[in-house]
Structure 1
Amino acid sequence: MTMWGRISGRVCRVATTKSWRPRDVPGSSPLQIIPECNHNNTEQKFPNLVLNNRRNDYKKHNSGNSKITFPFLVLIAASINHEETDLEETKLVGDGNRDIALLIMKGRKMLKERCSFEKIEEVYIEALHLALTRKDRNTIAYVQDQLANLALRFNKLEKAEELFKHVIRNLLDGGIKENDRSIIEISLKLATIYAATNKHDLAISGYNWTIESCRSNLEELKKTKLKTVEQKEDYDNQFALLGMTLDSYGRYHFAMGRSKEALEVTKEAKDISIKLFGENDIRTLVLYNDIGSILSQMGNIEEATEILEKVVSIANKTKNIDHGDLAVFWVNLCGIFNKQGEKKKAIDALRKARKEANSSNDRTLQKQIDIYINELGMQ
């Protein structure tokens, strides 16, 4: 089961209360320290940092660049309910399509084994051919969704975009309503693709439509008084999808230099996370940390420091916090202290970050911290 839960028996995997945070992407670590956006194109020796997926292919946004890439947004979209169990896979495509289910499971196993995109794609295409011969729209849409998610995870964005559009058409032709959660989830993924490919008008429209659709569905669910367990679960899952969308939209705003808009939607995402998981949950702490980074970018250093100190304090008292996560929190706090000219505090925070990083298996993070250590003149 993924981080935020699952709805079973649906054609396409939909966002649920355990699929918000992109922590389970194969081949990546949970968090990343990322230099803040340098919108004035001026050099900053030791910038403040933003929390995200630790990946070495992140490219910092610079207003002087003609092309902007947003792999962190793509990761958010690609991580939505990726993993299924063998039993769920068979149930989703039906007993009459067991051969298709086995091919999808084979492809997923190959993905975990880090096989090439081309080899995994061949397996999924074989499954799609079987679905097409049976003229089953639901199964066709399901396999296309698998292919689209695969393309998304391998950064084949144009291919993913076309496949997701085919999935939506097949779902709508098959009787799925436009406001169904499966359609909304795909719209979020398309919005992240548009952001990553510089189709910014489409990205903004996609994010706004997804948010409005989530809010509308939540209002309709409220009218039921949430009397049944199913209704309550449906509400929480829709609420989680809204939170996921706001989280992604906030990161997009921040990367584009719209700090005010980023702060507004990230705060709402944080409030949703608190309601679903509590204030001490790692997902909430990540959002608090992002808020601190946005405030720092806006020049609200005092408030940013207060928030980041709170994050570190809670994380230190919370069981089962990953060493890499805690290291990133300390590095971000170090960046704030350094920005204030508090070199002693900055060095102390960085030492604690190095200690946590050394307890993790993230070599990329360890190398990043070593760079900051040299910049601060530490031994």
Structure 2
Amino acid sequence: MYRFRLLWTSLSPIKKINKVVPVFRSRPIPRFKYTTPVALSFSLFTWLGFQKKLSMEDELILTIKHCVLFIERGDYEKAEQLLHVALRQAQQFQHQLGITYIYDVMANLALERNQLDAAKQLFIAVTQRIMADGATEDDTRVVHISVKLARISHLKKDYQTAQIGYDWCIEKLKKALSNDPDIDILKLLSIAEDWYGRLFIECNQYEQGFKLMISALERMKQVPNVEQEHIVVQLNDIGTVSDLLGRTDESISYFQEAIQLGKKVENMELGAMYINLGRAYIKKNLLNEARKNCGYGWKLGVITKNDDVKKEAELCLNQIKNST
């Protein structure tokens, strides 16, 4: 199966996974973006049955494969150019399934590039093509796209429309999962719950957001071979929400778990997480532990040349100095 990077949970400009800067808990709303590792991206490739109808040697699928590789490398301009080549090939072959899949890849690329209006129109076109081919609104492929449309409304801050969309999709996915314990459905439900939880956080409804983010984390941990980057960032963000709810001991546990797991992930930036943990220790008046963690966060900021992390670490250290 060919996978490609897809926007996961974050809200500001996209950063590659090896340059992730997790949220700082001193901010009321998660600020930094991160992307989905390739193996966790979700597209219609499997649910369309695409690989069953095209061989690996087929000219069209080879072109699509190269498109996906460019997307994975972050070379979006080349990917977009090649996608138009692939679309012309599919239209020339009158390969309707190929056309649908290419539209889906284009839509996901537009979403990753934060081209929300273009992504919305492309996802609607994909839905129309699928339903014209006989799919109903309960079809997993339709729900799959509806989750992304809800996400687009969310990113456009049309919270009412997004909430209606998330509610509908989560209900459908839970029902589908009860009938078919499919890993792709489980992933999609986890993604939908995580996005929905962050909507509530943005609207200062922390308790409701916390519950959804916890549910998303528990589901994602059930996914075989899940990329640990996501678990690390989810743990850090849940620690952030725990702090916003005044649950300092819980936030410390989540930050510690995120750091311990993050140490096992190659190129995972942990400076901000150490600072988060340090600030939690300040609240507990454990200043030696706070100084150690904020100091190490500063060191990592220097090593990775991350000015944001260095600045936050310095603020943390000054706060400790003023508390003594």
1:98 alignment counterpart: 58
User: How far is the alpha carbon of 1:92 from its aligned partner?
Assistant: 6.0
Structure 1 residues 294 and 167: CA distance shift in structure 2, 3 A? same
How far does the alpha carbon of each residue in 1:257-314 deviate from its partner, in whole angstroms, 9 at most, with x for none?
A: 11111011112112223444699955444333322211211222233234334444x4
Determine if the alignment matches structure 1 residue 34 to structure 2 residue 23. Answer: yes
Q: How far apart are residue 159 of structure 1 and its match?
A: 0.4
Q: Does 1:327 pair with 2:271?
A: yes
Partner of 1:183: 142
Q: Distance in 2 between matches of 1:285 and 1:356?
A: 17
Distance of 1:110 and 1:47 partners within structure 2 = 34
Task: Give 5+ residue unaligned stretches, structure 2.
Answer: none
Letter in 1 for 2:140: R
- State the distance in 2 between where 1:346 and 1:48 align: 20
For residue 258 of structure 1, the aligned residue among 205, 220, 237 is: 205
SS in 2 for 1:246: helix
Residues 1:308 and 2:248 aligned together: no
Quick check: 2:67–2:79 contact (8 Å CA) kept in 1? yes
What is the CA distance between 1:188 and its match in structure 2? 1.6
Distance in 2 between residues matched to 1:194 and 1:262, nearest whole Å: 17
Match of 2:41 among 52, 56, 80: 80
Give the Cα separation in 2 of the matches to 1:145 and 1:217: 22
Please say if residues 159 and 199 of structure 2, whose CA atoms lie closer than 8 Å, have aligned partners that are also in contact: no
Secondary structure at the residue paired with 1:32?
coil
Which residue of structure 2 aligns with residue 149 of structure 1? 108
C-alpha RMSD of matched pairs (Å): 4.0
Cα separation, partners in 2 of 1:272 and 1:30, compared to 1, 3 Å: farther
Report the equivalent of 2:71. 111
Alpha-carbon distance in structure 1 between the residues aligned to 2:175 and 2:167 = 12
What is the deviation of 1:235? 2.3
Q: CA deviation at 1:47?
A: 4.4
Q: TM-score w.r.t. structure 1 length?
A: 0.68
CA distance in 2, matches of 1:163, 1:345: 51
**What's the secondary structure of 2:21's corresponding residue?**
strand
- Which amino acid in structure 1 is aligned with residue 68 of structure 2? R
Return the letter of the residue paired with 1:346.
A
The aligned counterpart of 2:124 is 165
Distance 1:48 1:203, change over 3 A: closer
Aligned equivalents of 1:49 and 1:237: distance in 2?
A: 29
Distance 2:113 2:4 in 1: 20
CA distance in 1, matches of 2:227, 2:107: 34
User: CA 1:115–1:323 in 2, change beyond 3 Å: closer, same or farther?
Assistant: closer
Closer/same/farther in 2, CA of residues 309 and 158 from structure 1, 3 Å limit: same
- Give distance in 1, aligned partners of 2:293 and 2:72: 35
1:194 Cα shift?
0.8
Q: Residues 305-361 of structure 1: CA distance to partner in whole angstroms, max 9, x if unpaired?
A: 34334444x438x7x3345343333122123234455443322112222445566xx
For residues 81 and 96 of structure 1, do their structure 2 counterparts lie closer, same or farther at Cα, with a shift above 3 Å needed? closer
Higher relative contact order (CA 8 A, sep 6+): 1
Q: Is the 8 A contact 2:24 2:273 kept in 1?
A: no
1:243, 1:269 within 8 Å by CA — same for their partners in 2? yes
> After superposition, where does 1:347-366 map in structure 2 within 5 Å?
347-356=291-300, 362-363=304-305, 366=306
* Unaligned runs of at least 5 residues, structure 1: 1-5, 37-45, 55-74, 222-233
Aligned length: 312
